[in-house]
């Protein structure tokens, strides 16, 4: 849960460390809204599947995909899928793909609909099931059309709202997976702050997320995170994160959707460790 009260707790904590909390950032506002739409951190596990992430990216411009083509994409990501340590059959992979797709729809990542061709302008458009009854209005020329017999049409999926984003949901996919990870290891005792702007002196910075919990060591712990979709940290990011960790004494979590961190980043993590900055590293596997 994210509340105004918890934001005040983070603000007060940072002030005690000589850091000025400014405001929730634009990506942070998007993250809070996404979690509100999805309902829980558990629902975010659907982002663990590469095909789900790729399909969302492919649909960033609103182009729909057939349900069949999305299922095929999901099955292709399940090449190493096992059941009780035995390679799954093609039928079992198909069943697992259907489960993943259902979870994505239940989490409101995708909407189900049909593609109709207008008899007036002859243009084809996708319509969600809520966009039509016995009639629908053409999205191109706005003509009122009779809904065709839907049993003759193939079902399509489309992303909607915040999930129709060409910027990986404002960079929040990695953050959502990290928060889901921490909710598990912290025994669901997790209060979070989405991405926020802060200042150390006059220099503005941004932190991707913050966590306060008593679930790790049975005492209050603070974790602040930097998420990367794959690129290495730049010099400014390394400086700001080291300063933040030294001032607050918090864990600094680095999370990435890549298989591993770059060698430059690993050298930087060693420097942090030697300087007694507490760090947590989350790669794609975790």
Tens digits of residue pLDDT in 210-252:
988 875 555 678 899 998 766 678 888 899 999 999 999 999 9
Q: What is the pLDDT of residue 4?
A: 64
Cα maximum dimension of the chain: 71
Q: Is residue 124 very low, low, confident or very high in pLDDT (cuts 50, 70, 90)?
A: very high
Task: Please report, rounded to a whole number, the percentage of residues in the chain having pLDDT higher than 90.
Answer: 47
According to DSSP, the residues that pair with 220 across neighbouring strands are: none
Backbone angles phi, psi at 14, to 5 degrees: -70, -40
Other C-beta atoms closer than 10 Å to the C-beta of 57 total: 15
Which tokens in the block code for residue 147?
A: 């809904």
217-221: list long-range contacts, CB under 8 Å, 24+ apart: 221/250, 221/251
pLDDT of 41 > 60? The answer is yes
Query: Where is pLDDT greater, at 110 or 218?
Result: 110
Query: Whole-prediction pTM value?
Result: 0.81
Compute the average pLDDT of residues 111-130. 93
279, 195 Cβ separation under 8 angstroms: no
* 221-to-22, 196, 217, 226 alpha-carbon distances in Å: 22, 19, 8, 17
Paired tokens of 237:
């990011």
- Rounded to whole angstroms, the Cα distance separating 24 from 206 reads 9
pLDDT tens-digit series, residues 45-88: 888 888 888 888 888 777 889 999 999 989 988 888 889 889 99
Higher model confidence: residue 163 or residue 144? 144
Count other C-beta atoms under 10 Å from residue 60's C-beta. Answer: 15
CA distance 138 to 117: 8
Phi, psi of 192 (to 5 degrees): -125, 155
């Amino acid at each position: 849960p994210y509340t105004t009260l918890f934001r005040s707790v983070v603000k007060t904590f940072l002030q005690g460390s000589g850091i000025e909390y400014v405001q929730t950032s634009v990506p942070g506002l998007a993250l809070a809204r996404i979690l509100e739409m999805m309902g829980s951190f558990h629902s975010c596990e659907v982002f663990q599947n590469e095909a789900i992430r790729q399909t969302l990216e492919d649909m960033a411009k609103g182009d729909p995909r057939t349900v069949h083509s999305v299922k095929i994409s999901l099955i292709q990501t399940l090449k190493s899928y096992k059941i009780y340590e035995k390679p799954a059959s093609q039928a079992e992979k198909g069943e697992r793909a259907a489960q993943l797709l259902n979870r994505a729809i239940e989490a409101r990542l995708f909407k189900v609909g049909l593609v109709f061709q207008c008899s007036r302008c002859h243009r084809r458009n996708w319509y969600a099931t809520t966009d039509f009854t016995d009639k629908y209005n053409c999205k191109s020329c706005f003509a009122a059309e009779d809904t065709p017999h839907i049993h003759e049409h193939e079902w399509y999926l489309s992303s909607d709202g915040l999930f129709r984003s060409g910027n990986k949901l404002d960079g929040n996919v990695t953050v959502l997976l990290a928060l889901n990870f921490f909710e598990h290891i912290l025994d669901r005792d997790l209060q979070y702050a989405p991405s926020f702007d802060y200042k150390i002196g006059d220099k503005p910075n941004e932190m991707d997320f913050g966590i306060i919990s008593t679930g790790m060591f049975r005492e209050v712990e603070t974790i602040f995170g930097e998420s990367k979709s794959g690129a290495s940290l730049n010099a400014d990011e390394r400086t700001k994160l080291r300063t933040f960790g030294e001032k607050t004494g918090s864990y600094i979590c680095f999370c990435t959707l890549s298989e591993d961190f770059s060698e430059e980043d690993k050298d930087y993590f060693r420097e942090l460790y030697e300087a007694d900055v507490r760090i947590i590293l989350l790669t794609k596997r975790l």
